[in-house]
Amino acid sequence: MFGFFKKKKKGAEVMQLRGFPGDIGTLKCLIMAAEKNIKLDIAVLDVENDAHKQADYLKISPFGKYPYIQEDDAIAIGAEAALAYLDTRGNGFFNPKKAQFFGHQNYWWQVAESINDDIQVMLNEAASSKQVGSADKIKIEKVLDELDAFLSGKKFIVGEYSYADVHWTANLYALEVSGHKELIEARPNITGWYTKVKQRPSIATLPTLEDIKQKQLNAA
């Protein structure tokens, strides 16, 4: 069953997460699960060796998308579906209650996603110590400038901690571990926000650069 509304059965196993430590989408799922106090059974899906293209995985994810969450017979495939499912579990909900905040939240997580591929290239290069693509650094800086201006006077991106903060925490963490912390430090409002979110326990669940190189994920 592919869905988000299956109730957990009494005595069911711990929720499973299959992802890759160097994948920004997987980082987002780790952050969300930790923020919601959800315990995960975590296993590495070695996408560098095409594990997501193998027949057994394609039975679960026909298009090879990842990461994926499974709880009993409920499966959520891909980062957005997995995040939506995680938000139905655990403590509270991350979607803002006010409509104006909901719109801003969705805008800012979409903006975060607009530079995911470029930041992913930087992270891949840091983990492999070789050039694996071309990141549009000018685009990243332009988007960061926009976020920095928007964050002026704000504790979190929109109201309370939300999906937008999850997306941006993963992006900035990936920038930091890939050796591009200067892009954060050059922007005072982003620096202030990132300093606050790094104090949250969810950061401790994320893999270090060495973990990424060794293809290791830690249980949440």
pLDDT per position as a tens digit, 2-42? 443 334 444 456 899 999 999 999 999 999 999 999 999 99
25 or 132: whose pLDDT is higher? 25
CB 26 within 8 A of CB 212: no
Residue 118: exposed, middle, or buried by beta-carbon count in 10 A (0-12, 13-18, 19+)?
Answer: buried
Summarize the confidence of residues 158-168 as an average pLDDT: 92
Structure tokens at 123: 């992270």
What number is the average pLDDT over the span 145-160? 94
Q: What is the mean pLDDT of the chain?
A: 90
Which has more confidence, 94 or 211?
A: 211
Q: Average pLDDT, stretch 60-82?
A: 93
pLDDT tens digit sequence for 101-115:
888 889 999 999 999
Q: For 182-198, what is the mean pLDDT?
A: 97
76-128 pLDDT, tens digit per residue, is 999 999 999 999 888 878 877 777 788 888 999 999 999 999 999 999 999 99
Q: Averaged over 188-217, what is the pLDDT?
A: 96
Whole-number pLDDT of residue 1: 36
Domain 15-93+206-214 top-level CATH class: alpha beta
* pLDDT at 157 exceeding the cut of 90: yes
- Mapping DSSP onto H, E and C, the string for the chain reads CECCCCCCCCCCCCEEEEECCCCHHHHHHHHHHHHCCCCEEEEECCHHHCHHHCHHHHCCCCCCCCCEEEECCEEEECHHHHHHHHHCCCCCCCCCCCHHHHHHHHHHHHHHHHCHHHHHHHHHHHHHCCCCCCCCHHHHHHHHHHHHHHCCCCCCCCCCCCHHHHHHHHHHHHHHHCCCCHHHHCCHHHHHHHHHHCCCHHHHHCCCHHHHHHCCCCCC
What is the C-alpha to C-alpha distance for residues 124 and 154, in angstroms, rounded to an integer?
32
Give the per-residue pLDDT at 98.
75
Least confident of 107-116, 166-175, 210-219: 210-219
Residue 102 has what pLDDT? 85
pLDDT score of 219: 58
User: What is the percent of the chain where pLDDT is above 70?
Assistant: 93
Angle at 9 between CA 19 and CA 13, to 5 degrees: 40
Report, as an integer, the average pLDDT of 42-66.
93
pLDDT given for residue 6 in this prediction: 39
Q: How high is the pLDDT of residue 4?
A: 38
> What CATH code is assigned to 99-200?
1.20.1050.10
Sorted by where each begins, the domain ranges of the chain are: 15-93+206-214, 99-200
Token pair in block for residue 1? 């069953």
- Note whether 158 and 104 are within 8 A (CB): yes
